[in-house]
Amino acid sequence: MLKKKHHILTGYLLMMIIISCSEESPVRPFNDDSRPYARYWWFASTITEDDVRYNLNWLKENGFGGVEIAWVYPLNRFNPKDTTYTPRQEWLSPEWTKIVDYTVKYADSIGLGCDLTFGTLWPFGDSYVPFDQATQRYGDPHWRQKITRSWQHPVSGYVVDHLTPQNYLPYFGRLIKSFPRPATSLPQAYFIDSWEVETEKLWSDSFKDDFIRKFRYDISPFMDSIYDPVNSRHLYDYMSLVSEKVLKFYYNFDSTLNAAGVLSRGQVSGAPCDLISGYALMDIPEGESMLFEPEFCTIPASAALLSGKNVVSSETFTCLYGWPADYMRKEQTADLKLVADALFANGINHIIWHGKPHNPKGYDTVSFYATTHVGPESAMAGEIPGFNGYLRKVSSYMKKGSTYSDISVYLPTEDAWTAGRMPVEKQFIWAWGYYEMRYVYFPSELEGFNPVWINSEFLDKASVADGNLHVGNARCKALYVDAEYLDIKVVKRLAELASRGLHIILKKEPREPGAISSPGYRELIDEIKRSENVMAQLPDDLIPFISGIQIPAHWCRKDGDELYIFFPNPKARRLKFPLEYGQSLCEKNDTINVKIKYGGKEYKVDLIFEPYQSLLYRIDKNNISEIDISFVPSEPSAKQRAPGYKAPWLVNQDF
């Protein structure tokens, strides 16, 4: 026990030193290569150099630009009768470090990037996390979340406490010490997956005292029923403190990696925090689809714009046709293209396939559930190189300059933190709370204005010049606010921005969230409403970028004097999980007539979408031209789900 405590303390002190020195260790810029990556599943087994070369060579030959290694359980894990121990390089052992080091070096030698998942499976944790450093739940002192589906299976461990630096920094230190960092020509990122820590009544040793210091009352009497509507004001306060602690976790994750010369790439989906602020802490914010709808990716894309980041990646094609493994190895390229195009139209500009299972040399028999199978025996194997060429081309254009937007929209975080549980028909077996913001969309009246999200943090950082909102790489003509609740600090900031000349569209009169009322809140709202720069409707002089009877989905990038506009095929609009098999099937052209107003000129454009095709336009020196991005996948076959199909991912099984 004494040795373990000494090890933990040493790891914690090491991390504090690393974080304090982070400003002295600048991170190299992200690789400009836009070839898609693939998540590379390593099942707990003996990984050989020969097999690594076989898998990486195949990926290189098929148009991939890199991999993200994800270490998971042994293949016999799903058979409870098979208790045979699978030989492997033990987790974080010198032998494990050696084969990872070889993989990173070999990938670099053939021109592939090689990112590493910062942990085994998900979420963060392993058998070295002691009980007193594991994640907690209020009211159940003997409970700790276990991690079982890991590289260490059948040995189980604990999920590390994500709210307390003294508990998670030793975990960071242990991994930083064991992860190899050979010199490479390509930049490297360590990856954090979506939040899968048990969030209901999330707690920590210091939470009660920290809450009292922050809000001047004890949250404990409300915790047993914190998600009941009657406690919505207390829930907002609780979520505010949880968010503060989770954002500190992401800050330390990023700082730790940057201090070691590594980029941070991460998903904040599902996390109980201010999503924009969380994504903005990553060097490479990452969305995901299809377990989150493509529209959700506008949140990490907005965070990237606001914080001056260029690359927004996405875990892509996950559970394409349903969970856990519908149509495994039968995926159709046209359906994948539909999803990729939807992601490009919501701000994503780097695709990460989900994914490639590690296979022995000469074989492609190993599969990973919940994934689109990447390998020589995939049904679409012959189309992968051409499809990757398409993804690379579109990604390269969508990385030029930065996102162009006319209007910023306040992300209604207060509403989500006050609402509690979603109705059962909206819940998945792994998603129950409004705080995830799974079903938040831009208002339909803003479809032609290229909207982006903004939050309290970036309103505070913003300035107003010539009536425009400036923050990060964003330059917006107006701010749009449609929220039931607004925190007092946001209301104060709106008053300041309006007084400096920013047009604010305030759609409704908000209420104050939280259990503690702020003096003068209502008077401040009245003051804002009296401002000549605050209005309830879009002003007539705010001209949409695109107008027409039908406004197509699109995403814009501005690069100097050039503007690039991506229009996905109309079938890619508002995709929902899961895709139907062959949903992309299309037999005729679709034409949408629009007017584009930019740079003082108006362009009339007939957008002619051929089957399976999306469009890319460039405006340059008062001219508009189409860029050829054609890629024609094989015609898909369409299948309907069986009558009476029950969706296993839904709490309410009536699909």
Give me the mean pLDDT over the 6-27 stretch.
44
**654 falls in which pLDDT band (50, 70, 90)?**
low
Q: Is the pLDDT of residue 1 over 60?
A: no
Task: Give the span between the Cα atoms of 374 and 41, in whole angstroms.
Answer: 11
Own/partner contacts of 89-96, CB < 8 Å, gap of 24 or more, are 89/46, 89/47, 91/120, 91/126, 91/127, 91/150, 91/151, 91/152, 92/126, 92/174, 92/175, 92/178, 93/178, 96/178
Q: pTM for the complete prediction?
A: 0.95
So what's the pLDDT on residue 333? 99
Instruction: Give which of 597, 503, 594 is closest to 544, Cα–Cα.
Output: 597
**80 falls in which pLDDT band (50, 70, 90)?**
confident
Distance from the Cα of residue 358 to its chain's centroid? 24
Task: Give the span between the Cα atoms of 504 and 481, in whole angstroms.
Answer: 7
**653 falls in which pLDDT band (50, 70, 90)?**
low
So what's the pLDDT on residue 83? 78
Give me the mean pLDDT over the 362-378 stretch.
95
Contact between 523 and 566 under an 8 Å Cβ cutoff? The reply is no
Q: Are β-strands 601-609 and 590-598 bridged in parallel, bridged antiparallel, or unpaired?
A: antiparallel
So what's the pLDDT on residue 79? 82
Instruction: Give which of 287, 264, 292, 291 is closest to 276, Cα–Cα.
Output: 287
**31 falls in which pLDDT band (50, 70, 90)?**
low
CATH 3.20.20.80 fits 34-401, yes or no: yes
pLDDT digits (tens, 9 = 90+) for 336-352: 999 999 999 999 999 99
Q: Is the pLDDT of residue 13 over 60?
A: no
So what's the pLDDT on residue 4? 40
Contact between 627 and 619 under an 8 Å Cβ cutoff? The reply is no
So what's the pLDDT on residue 622? 86
Task: Give the span between the Cα atoms of 655 and 638, in whole angstroms.
Answer: 19
Query: Hey, is 571 helix, strand or coil?
Result: helix
Give residue limits of the domains in the chain: 34-401, 407-535
Give me the mean pLDDT over the 171-182 stretch.
98
Give me the mean pLDDT over the 174-180 stretch.
98
Give me the mean pLDDT over the 439-459 stretch.
98
Helices marked H in 488-568: 488-499, 521-530
Instruction: Give which of 187, 192, 178 is closest to 100, Cα–Cα.
Output: 178
SS (H, E, C) 382-447: HHHHHHHHHHHHHHHHHCCCEECCCEEEECCHHHHHHHCECCHHHCECCECEHHHCCCCCCCHHHH
Locate 236 and state its tokens.
């907002």
Neighbouring CB atoms inside 10 A of 105's CB total: 14
Q: Is the pLDDT of residue 30 over 90?
A: no
Upstream peptide bond of 578 is cis (omega within 30 degrees of 0): yes
Distance from the Cα of residue 419 to its chain's centroid? 22
Distance from the Cα of residue 366 to its chain's centroid? 27
So what's the pLDDT on residue 5? 40
Residues with Cβ within 8 Å of 8's Cβ and at least 6 positions away in sequence, in order, are 130, 133, 170
Q: Is the pLDDT of residue 639 over 50?
A: yes
User: Tell me, what DSSP letter sits at residue 545?
Assistant: S
Q: Are β-strands 402-403 and 555-559 bridged in parallel, bridged antiparallel, or unpaired?
A: antiparallel
Q: Is the pLDDT of residue 26 over 50?
A: no
pLDDT digits (tens, 9 = 90+) for 529-539: 999 999 999 99
Task: Give the span between the Cα atoms of 67 and 363, in whole angstroms.
Answer: 19
So what's the pLDDT on residue 147? 94
